[in-house]
């Protein structure tokens, strides 16, 4: 049988391991870890539950929630979590990516660059802010440009790690377009690195995923050259 000290040592090892995973921004899953019953509770009920938890957190920190500036904060935060920053968790909010026949027979690379990206680090619940660059080569089907932005927004609007987000964007566009010829590069700043811990305000994180012909060195190089263009209007 384990002694009390052995139990405490085991608990410390587990805690240290989980802290290390968070500090290293490491993901143990290629899909978001969502429970099977995640969407049984209506959004309005979720907002009410989260509101009470936020209120308890602020009160525990010693904040006076009778102050005019703070009294509405728990509800505002709860609405923001459910409807906005974590809205991409709900499958009903997945964008309908309408596709069209490539009737003009455009056979070259299409690149949508500098897509503004806001997400949230799932380890510290702090913002991830950056740009996504997405490209594909049609095999007979094209998708509206705004839908590429919406796919990025949908998968970013949830607790995330950047590597998973990059993969999800590529996989979704591959599914929509019916081709492996999709690539994505994400360049983002993590406030969990910039504003806490090591507090490195200068660094950013770059992730990439290349599918189909983008694995060929010349196509990869062409895509990377395009996103380096200094576009001015």
Digit-coded pLDDT (tens) for 161-201: 999 999 999 999 999 999 999 999 999 999 999 999 888 89
Give me the number of domains the chain comprises.
2
Which contacts qualify for 164-167: CB closer than 8 Å, 24 or more apart? Answer: 164/27, 164/29, 164/30, 164/31, 164/32, 165/119, 165/207, 166/207, 166/208, 166/209, 167/30, 167/209
Whether 218 and 123 map to the same domain: the answer is: yes
- For residue 178, give the DSSP letter: T
Give the domain range for residue 73: 40-85
Assess if residue 70 is contained within a domain: yes
Mark whether 81 and 142 lie in a shared domain.
no
Residue 5 domain-assigned (yes or no): no
The CATH number that applies at residue 80 is 1.10.286.10
Which of 53, 85, 117 is at the close of a domain?
A: 85
> Looking up tokens 């997945």, which residue turns up?
94
Verify that 125 and 212 share a domain, yes or no: yes
Active-site annotation, residues: 121-124, 162, 190, 192
In a domain, 31, yes or no: no
> What's the CATH number where 203 sits?
3.30.1130.10
Residue 155 lies in a domain: yes
Residue 121 bridge partners (DSSP)? 160
**Lookup result for tokens 């049609």:** 138
Helix (H) / strand (E) element for 42: namely none
Q: What is the mean pLDDT of residues 63-81?
A: 98
pTM for the structure as a whole: 0.86
Instruction: Provide the angle, in degrees to the nearest 10, between the axes of the packed helices 145-156 and 162-177.
Output: 140
Average pLDDT over residues 94-98: 87
Residues 218 and 146 in one domain: yes
User: In this structure, is residue 12 part of a structural domain?
Assistant: no
Q: What is the pLDDT of residues 204-222, one digit of tens each?
A: 999 999 999 999 999 999 9
Q: State the pairing for strand pair 109-121/159-160.
A: parallel
Same domain, 79 and 136: no
């Amino acid at each position: 049988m384990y002694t009390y000290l052995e139990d405490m040592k085991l608990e410390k090892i587990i805690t240290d391991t989980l802290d290390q995973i968070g500090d290293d921004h490491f993901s143990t899953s290629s899909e978001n870890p969502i429970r099977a019953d995640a969407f049984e509770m209506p959004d309005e009920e979720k907002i009410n539950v989260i509101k009470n938890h936020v209120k308890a957190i602020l009160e525990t920190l010693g904040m006076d929630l009778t102050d005019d500036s703070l009294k509405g904060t728990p509800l505002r935060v709860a609405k923001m979590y459910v409807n906005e920053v974590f809205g991409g968790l709900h499958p009903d909010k997945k964008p309908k990516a309408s596709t069209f026949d490539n009737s003009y027979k455009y056979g070259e690379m299409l690149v949508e660059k500098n897509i503004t990206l806001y997400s949230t680090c799932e380890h510290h619940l702090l913002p991830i802010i950056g740009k996504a660059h997405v490209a594909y080569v049609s095999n007979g089907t094209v998708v509206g440009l705004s839908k590429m932005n919406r796919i990025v927004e949908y998968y970013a609007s949830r607790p995330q790690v950047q590597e998973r987000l990059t993969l999800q964007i590529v996989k979704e566009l591959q599914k929509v377009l019916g081709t492996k010829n999709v690539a994505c590069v994400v360049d983002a700043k993590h406030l969990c690195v910039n504003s806490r811990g090591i507090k490195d305000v200068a660094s950013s994180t770059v992730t990439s995923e290349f599918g189909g012909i983008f694995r060929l060195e010349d196509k990869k190089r062409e895509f990377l050259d395009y996103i380096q263009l200094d576009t001015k209007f």
